[in-house]
Chain A
Amino acid sequence: GIQVEQSPPDLILQEGANSTLRCNFSDSVNNLQWFHQNPWGQLINLFYIPSGTKQNGRLSATTVATERYSLLYISSSQTTDSGVYFCAVEETSYDKVIFGPGTSLSVIP
């Protein structure tokens, strides 16, 4: 099956800093989403982005499907950005959703 990797696994930022999170996948996908899981466990959909670029406030995402990666940009980070960021892909062949291992982000004041 498809392999999904995320980097870095852990990230500590000073409030106000910018960061880039990466998601690599080993095969073509139908769908790619970015999620944020807050410290209380709630998963929130950030972007549905099988290709191209989208922006929502301080967050933006770019997926280059032909090169099998996606990037999530966080600008002017805030403490409320802390948590784990997951990318999830839908396999073309098996029609299942596979999550990456996540990037754990801590934003300190």
Chain B
Amino acid sequence: KAGVTQTPRYLIKTRGQQVTLSCSPISGHRSVSWYQQTPGQGLQFLFEYFSETQRNKGNFPGRFSGRQFSNSRSEMNVSTLELGDSALYLCASSLTPMNTEAFFGQGTRLTVV
């Protein structure tokens, strides 16, 4: 079956702009989690959605938000981009929240200039 699909793969934005990233989970998976990976901070948890509801959130400012649709696809949005938001954004899907194996997409590489 198809894996986790993230689009776009690469993105370049200017400071102050906003960006929306998309994640389509494995068919049948209802939980989607988002992570940010940077050289300085490593992998950090952003938030998790299950059945269209945000279950929890990491320590990120309100500029980072997300949502999940009825087909389990998820989007995350970053407003008022800062240079420090440049990172690899990864999403993972699992059958149920955080208590089963998680499978990751290839990520979206965001560069803010």
Contact = CB atoms under 8 A, between A and B. Distances in A.
A72 to B, nearest CB: 16
Contact of A97 (B98, B101, B103): B98
A33 B102 CA distance: 9
B107 A95 contact: no
Contact of B45 (A43, A44, A98, A101): A98
B55 A45 contact: no
Given A90-B98, A95-B98, A96-B45, 16 more contacts: A31-B99, A41-B109, A43-B90, A45-B104, A48-B100, A48-B101, A86-B43, A90-B99, A95-B55, A97-B35, A97-B45, A97-B98, A99-B35, A99-B45, A101-B42, A102-B43
B104 A99 contact: no
B43 A96 contact: no
A44 B3 CA distance: 11
A42 interface: yes
Given A42-B106, A95-B56, A33 B99 contact: no
